[in-house]
């Protein structure tokens, strides 16, 4: 999903660059405390690892192979702030040295892959982790679901940016559907690969996994119970992202998706609508409106074009999150069933 030059117009490219600098700067400051104490070796090597891992051909079945994006995986391993910095470093090298991703599109690529991909992947993983029993065995499915959601989320973010500054007129709804739909499929591959890689790490060095810290490893007796486990005596309480934080995060995602779509459709299509309804029909014609990407809206049957755009964005986000949660519940059900079967066999 490395966007090349020319996809987005100059104002949007510059704006995304500015926002990306601000966000990555914040992430750097948050991660810097750790980085300053321990040195840049670990994040640097993690970045090198993600870069190398992105080049690996993973066989995902049916004769196809997939590649790893790595945002959710990195967040699970080294924590969200460091992961943002790590993915940004990877994107910088890819853009500057390998021409993978346009240099004017760096802001866009950083926002979609290094920020949205990482943050959504991490938040969803934390959310799922709260639904699953608080054991280290829950980490891999939680991260996998986070990885699954992170890919279409990044695609949605790209769609939103394209709605703001895309250079070719494409109906927003069609683009959103296509991007999110296609990336839901890619998300499956990402989830599989993330699960497999993280599983291998958890098997040997669970202490290296940021997402698994504070989680007790399953004791054999506890696994046989099948019910929700209480942490082993003496183990530290799992750190929970407050319900409020998660709720806010979730709502924020939806609001952003909706608002951006609104904003996109408000400019200048909404302007035209307002102009017409206020009688300034003529004035609207000779502006850039005629050639805007949103001049012809054909998504839904709704007469009001900007509402349909907003709905498309919100629906996309809702579907993605819902799918993720559904997967989590299924995983929990299956786990319960499997454990109950195991207990029944004793």
Name which position in 72, 89, 127, 144 contacts another protein (CB under 8 A): 89
Name which position in 235, 295, 319, 339 contacts another protein (CB under 8 A): 295
Name which position in 23, 83, 91, 92 contacts another protein (CB under 8 A): 92
User: Closer to another protein at the Cβ: 13 or 253?
Assistant: 13
Residue with token string 């790893």: 68
Q: How large is the C-alpha radius of gyration of the chain?
A: 22
Name which position in 15, 19, 178, 319 contacts another protein (CB under 8 A): 178
DSSP reduced 3-state for 64: strand
Residues in 255-284 that interact with another protein by CB under 8 A: none
- What's the CA gap between 255 and 92, in Å, rounded? 29
Q: How far is the CB of 138 from another protein (least distance, A)?
A: 18
The answer to whether residue 345 forms part of the interface with another protein (CB under 8 A) is: no
The answer to whether residue 181 forms part of the interface with another protein (CB under 8 A) is: no
The answer to whether residue 85 forms part of the interface with another protein (CB under 8 A) is: yes
- What's the CA gap between 2 and 252, in Å, rounded? 25
For another protein, which stretch binds (CB under 8 A), given 131-139, 173-181, 249-257, 310-318? 173-181
Name which position in 15, 19, 93, 263 contacts another protein (CB under 8 A): 93
Q: How far is the CB of 283 from another protein (least distance, A)?
A: 22
Q: How many CB atoms lie within 10 A of CB 225?
A: 14
The answer to whether residue 204 forms part of the interface with another protein (CB under 8 A) is: yes
The answer to whether residue 173 forms part of the interface with another protein (CB under 8 A) is: no
What would the two tokens of residue 105 be? Answer: 């599109």
Residues in 7-36 that interact with another protein by CB under 8 A: 7, 9-10, 13, 24-25, 28, 32, 35-36
Q: How far is the CB of 166 from another protein (least distance, A)?
A: 9
- What's the CA gap between 75 and 54, in Å, rounded? 15
Q: How far is the CB of 156 from another protein (least distance, A)?
A: 17
The answer to whether residue 285 forms part of the interface with another protein (CB under 8 A) is: no
Helix spans in 205-236 (H): 220-225
The answer to whether residue 114 forms part of the interface with another protein (CB under 8 A) is: no
Q: Are 229 and 219 in contact (CB under 8 A)?
A: no
Q: What is the x/- site pattern for another protein, positions 122-161, by CB under 8 A? A: ----------------------------------------
The answer to whether residue 198 forms part of the interface with another protein (CB under 8 A) is: yes
Q: Are 300 and 308 in contact (CB under 8 A)?
A: yes
What would the two tokens of residue 68 be? Answer: 């790893």
- What's the CA gap between 80 and 103, in Å, rounded? 25
Pairing relationship of beta strands 58-61 and 64-66 according to DSSP bridges? antiparallel
DSSP reduced 3-state for 237: coil
CA dihedral 242→87→146→220, nearest 10 degrees, is -80
């Amino acid at each position: 999903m490395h966007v090349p030059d020319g996809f987005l117009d100059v104002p949007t490219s510059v704006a995304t660059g500015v926002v990306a600098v601000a966000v990555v700067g914040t992430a750097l400051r948050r991660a810097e405390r750790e980085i300053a104490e321990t040195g840049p070796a670990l994040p640097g090597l993690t970045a090198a690892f993600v870069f190398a891992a992105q080049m690996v051909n993973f066989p995902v079945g049916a004769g196809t192979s997939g590649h790893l994006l790595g945002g959710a995986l990195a967040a699970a391993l080294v924590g969200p702030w460091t992961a943002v910095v790590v993915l940004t470093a990877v994107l910088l090298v890819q853009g500057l040295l390998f021409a993978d991703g346009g240099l004017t599109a760096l802001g866009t690529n950083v926002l979609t892959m290094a920020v949205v991909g990482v943050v959504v992947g991490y938040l969803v993983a934390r959310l799922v982790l709260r639904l699953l029993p608080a054991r280290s065995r829950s980490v891999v499915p939680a991260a996998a679901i986070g990885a699954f959601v992170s890919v279409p989320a990044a695609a949605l973010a790209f769609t939103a940016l394209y709605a703001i500054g895309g250079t070719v007129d494409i109906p927003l709804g069609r683009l959103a559907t296509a991007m999110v739909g296609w990336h839901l499929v890619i998300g499956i591959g990402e989830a599989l690969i993330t699960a497999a890689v993280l599983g291998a790490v958890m098997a040997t060095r669970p202490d290296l996994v940021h997402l698994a810290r504070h989680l007790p490893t399953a004791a054999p007796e506890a696994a046989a119970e099948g019910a929700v486990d209480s942490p082993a005596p003496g183990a530290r309480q799992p750190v929970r992202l407050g319900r409020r934080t998660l709720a806010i995060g979730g709502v924020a995602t939806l609001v952003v998706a909706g608002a951006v779509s609104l904003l996109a459709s408000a400019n200048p299509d909404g302007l035209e609508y307002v102009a017409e309804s206020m009688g300034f029909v003529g004035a609207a014609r000779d502006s850039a409106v005629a050639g805007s990407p949103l001049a012809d809206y054909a998504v839904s049957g709704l007469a009001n074009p900007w509402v349909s755009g907003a709905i498309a964005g919100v629906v996309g986000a809702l579907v993605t999150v819902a799918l993720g949660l559904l997967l989590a519940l299924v995983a929990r059900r299956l786990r319960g069933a499997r454990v109950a079967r195991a207990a029944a066999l004793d």
